[in-house]
Amino acid sequence: MKIAILQTDTVRPEFAARYGQYPEMFARLLRQAEPTLEWDGFDVVHMEYPAKLDAYDAFLITGSRFSVYEDLPWIRRLQNFVLQLHQQRKIIIGICFGHQLVAQALGGKTEKATVGWGVGVHAAHWYQKPDWARDADDEFRLLVSHQDQVTRPASGSEVLAGSDFCPNAVCQIGDHILTFQGHPEFVLGYSRDLMQMRSEQLGTAVFQTGMASLQESTNQLQVAHWIIAFIKRGADNHDNGL
């Protein structure tokens, strides 16, 4: 299995030394579920894109400090690329910013959340369990870091999971698009460092609640298995002409 990781932001140098850049975070996570995974990274902020789409089994869009509704050339181009992938039924995995951008590109809407920042460990419950997550409990937990949310899912979306805080936390379109608001690639230390860096911006209550939540366990490895299962299922359906 080979994936293209579309990098939509750069980790701050003082954090990158400890945690790596976003493509490396995803590779470390997903290789726990698929040890033979291969990947190439593309810095789409600087307009780097794969030359051959058929060289990849899936395209993963990372998180970002940017908002998908910002009128920036690289965001417009990435939305057009998502449209191209969707039209060709290429497999897309969207995480946080990627989740929001897919919605925005395909007829949905992303806005700054009226409930404010989501940070730390958050739980989401399943509205419906898909085939690739039959082993799932009724809810799962992931690290989150966002102040934007999908307020209208993309056309044709199934909203699979969410919470009172974030109703549209996991979305699927057909057998080729899967997006999560949460960050399965984050580790506790990186989440802690981000919150400490943004403590004034978050405010005392959100910061303290977020930091306290880091005592809770997450389901990041289980989500990695779900992502790999989704990619394999989509690839098999595509090969069989379904």
Helix residue ranges per DSSP H, 44-198: 73-87, 97-105, 188-197
Predicted pLDDT of residue 240: 53
Tokens of 46: 């600087």
Q: Where are the alpha helices (DSSP H) in 88-219?
A: 97-105, 188-197, 199-202, 204-213
* Local mean pLDDT, 10-residue blocks, the chain (242 residues): 98 95 97 97 98 97 97 98 97 98 98 97 97 92 98 96 98 97 98 97 97 97 97 73 55
Q: What is the pLDDT of residue 209?
A: 98
Task: For 18-43, write each residue's pLDDT tens digit.
Answer: 999 999 999 999 999 999 999 999 99
Q: What are phi and psi of 6, to 5 degrees?
A: -90, 105
In this prediction the pTM is: 0.95
Residue 182 confidence (pLDDT): 98
Rounded alpha-carbon distances, angstroms, from residue 38 to 26, 67, 219: 11, 29, 23
Q: Report pLDDT digits (tens) over 174-193.
A: 999 999 999 999 999 999 99
The CATH number given to 2-239 is: 3.40.50.880
Task: Please give the pLDDT value at position 233.
Answer: 86
